[in-house]
Structure 1
């Protein structure tokens, strides 16, 4: 894998996974002179990236292991309609994962995790700016995120959390809102939303169009994208990596990057990667509204995110710990509608689109896995939880730096897959 002049910079890479993280990594590898092949088991962006709410929101992209999530998990055991859904069934691996997750739901750990995230949060929007400046059709819209609550007490809780996040170093600007201010900013919020918060300096995108634009850019710069390529194994031989499909010849390169989201464990098992990744499934759909939607709406009490989407409102929510291939549970969609309906008005719920379910990659310590595995020449990029779109490009930039220089950036040390 020696490059020109005898250095050890890889000249070729195969990226497994064509979601936002995989495509971003491919793009930034190309920016460093690496020839890239992208393989994808389905179509480009067909997974959780496409169905994402599309928020570019470093002010909210916090680790999932906040202490109150533990209480939500216990509630989810008793109520299948709760935002956090945990199946009550014998599954030792799932329960082992959840126990490890619960052990991390401590204030002291969460604060440290926020500080670990800080470099990614700070550089997340500039990474999108880099893509846009180089011709990628990002089409990001600057907009505040407006959060609505049924009680002032609940709204004050978010204000306290944002104030803490700001003290920890996250650059975030926010203001309290009363009922009238909420309705002025977001006409879709009903009279039941009596208090809220406006979070400034955020953005949103159409995730499908972003992925299409990123894939088009990667291809125009010389990459090959191969959909319907289901990887069965990855091997190394004499300094070359071979990525084998279920049928047909392998794709070979100097290095491989596994960015398969919630399926990451399928290809890089221990001892290759110590940190396990589970599927935390989310559901989304779009719905017409009587008034135009001017920006993102957040309903923290029911964990529902809403975004302007192709003339309608995209509604996304729930965290369901089930296998990626399990059938869609339509009751989860009904639960999202029932929880959001009281706080929203002018939304034609009965005309909603066919829902989608996507598997977010979740780790027990709420930190992504980014970097080299024990298998020489094989790297991983995943475990971003709900924040893959926000953190995808900055992840790709930092990982491309590590791959091409052989040095782990300081920003990636907390996310080492061998931690």
Structure 2
């Protein structure tokens, strides 16, 4: 008997999961409230970089975020609000801002991300054209000493086969390697083997691949209610009508949290708002660049545009665009760029990243339900971890057996009835 699976969420994570389920023989239907790939999968930096997929909570972040409470221009901004769920989330988040929790999270995400590049290569060989460019990623800083933390993190990951930079570049050597940089940039190093892509092509590629293997996609279909009884979901109520459900995957990014509430479950997850825009400099960077002190990243695209992105704003589940944040990204980027391009800023964007209280993805069966699965909480690593998430979660749904590497991401650690 063919397993029938409904996936709610048409971003990179939902579509990758749907694709691998269909490949495994399931009859799959994806439901998307807007258009596929229109949410956080559209305007992010487009990095496919397992080296950078670790958890956000880290040692020293408590004092950093405390200072940022009154500064909306801060790279990480917590907007204080009277919200009990946000208070619970904040308490758990800050409890994970220590070296032990960070190292455990790094270990877990490193194992999950080990297969990222191999899986993308397999998908490309099957004819899915993502437009991936493997140019590596350049980390730079105005103060060379501030790169030490990044180097230490990569040394930990070297145990999993992740690449270490050959050398730290300084002075003329650095600026010859990357003419895009200003003279104020003191040092940098290249993480070889990492890749980048126009992120919209990831969602589009998985959507095309899903249709080719028999999957179905329903756009402009918003879930407004869920019927469930005795630990099983039986039907969805949507803007397109009632739909019977066999197995259900909730993969709607930050909007997974209100969907879980329809089942009487609270996820300790908040929406982390990110911003981006595009410029057209005369000289493009040769590869993506991370500006260390400002936490701003730039990614070159083949159409001559450079996407500039950054910030993590915790202000609730909303798509309000705060121009102070866009200005802060511009200020943070200008110090590192040899020239700020003339002309208008294009493609202004704000999107919601799903951020679990411990900074890790939420992958697995929802406690209390035998036919509901979660695939969310990827924060800023959705494009990177999409194929691994889809591959291992589809294996769990089809066989009932979870790979050991999924255990740190089990939903029970982050859910409340």
Question: Do they fold alike, i.e. is TM over 0.5?
Answer: yes
TM-score (norm 2): 0.93
Q: How much does 1:345 deviate?
A: 1.9
Is 1:394 the counterpart of 2:388 in the alignment? Answer: yes
Is 1:64 the counterpart of 2:56? The answer is yes
Establish whether residue 261 from structure 1 lines up as the match of residue 288 from structure 2.
no
Q: 1:13 to 1:107 in 2, by over 3 A?
A: same
Q: Is the 8 A contact 1:274 1:417 kept in 2?
A: no
Q: Could you tell me whether the CA contact under 8 Å between 2:226 and 2:233 is conserved in 1? A: no
So what's the TM-score if we normalise by structure 1?
Answer: 0.93
- 1:407 maps onto 2:417 in alignment: no
The Cα of 1:234 is off from its aligned counterpart by 2.5
SS of the equivalent of 1:110 reads helix
Partner of 1:358: 351
TM alignment of 1:134-173, pairs within 5 A: 134-167=126-159, 169=160, 171-173=162-164
- Contact 1:273/1:417, CA 8 A, preserved across alignment: no
Q: 1:349/1:305 Cα in 2 relative to 1: closer, same or farther (>3 Å)?
A: farther
SS of the counterpart of 1:398? helix
* Alignment of 1:416 onto 2:399: no
CA distance in structure 1 between the aligned counterparts of 2:39 and 2:98, rounded to whole angstroms: 31
Aligned to 1:418, the other structure's residue is in SS state: helix
Whether the 8 Å contact between 1:241 and 1:256 is mirrored in structure 2 is: no
Distance 1:230 1:75, change over 3 A: same
1:376 pairs, out of 370, 381, 384, with: 370
Quick check: 1:41 aligned with 2:9? no
What is the CA-CA distance between 1:102 and the residue it aligns to? 0.7
The 5 A counterparts of 1:9-408 are 11-167=3-159, 169=160, 171-174=162-165, 175-236=167-228, 241-245=234-238, 247-269=239-261, 275-309=267-301, 310-348=303-341, 350-373=343-366, 374-408=368-402
Q: Offset of 1:71 from its aligned partner?
A: 2.8
* Matched residue SS, 2:168: strand
- SS of the aligned residue for 2:412 comes to coil
How far apart are residue 113 of structure 1 and its match?
1.2
Alpha-carbon distance in structure 1 between the residues aligned to 2:264 and 2:50 = 30
The Cα of 1:95 is off from its aligned counterpart by 2.7
SS, match of residue 402 in structure 2: coil
Length, aligned pairs only = 409
Q: Secondary structure at the match of 1:210?
A: helix
Q: Does the Cα contact within 8 Å between 2:92 and 2:358 map onto a contact in 1?
A: yes
Q: 1:68: how far off? A: 2.8
- Once the two structures are TM-superposed, the CA of residue 275 in structure 1 deviates from its matched residue by 4.1
Deviation at 1:254, TM superposition (A): 1.9
Q: CA 1:127/1:303 → structure 2, altered by over 3 Å: closer, same or farther? A: same
C-alpha distance after superposition, 1:49-74 (max 9, x if no partner): 11110101111111111113223212
Structure 1 vs Structure 2 CA RMSD: 1.9
Deviation at 1:133, TM superposition (A): 1.7
- CA 1:413–1:271 in structure 2 vs 1: closer, same or farther (change >3 Å)? farther
| Residues 218 and 349 of structure 1: CA distance in aligned 2, closer, same or farther (over 3 Å) | farther
1:272: how far off? Answer: 6.2
Partners of 1:172 and 1:199 within 8 A in 2: yes
Asked if 2 retains the 8 angstrom alpha-carbon contact of 1:288 and 1:347, the reply is: no
- Seen in structure 2, the aligned counterparts of structure 1 residues 393 and 267 have a Cα distance that, compared at 3 Å, is same
1 CA distance for matches of 2:299 and 2:139? 12
Q: Is the 8 A contact 1:293 1:312 kept in 2?
A: no
Change (3 A) 1:272 1:112: farther
Q: Is the 8 A contact 1:236 1:376 kept in 2?
A: no
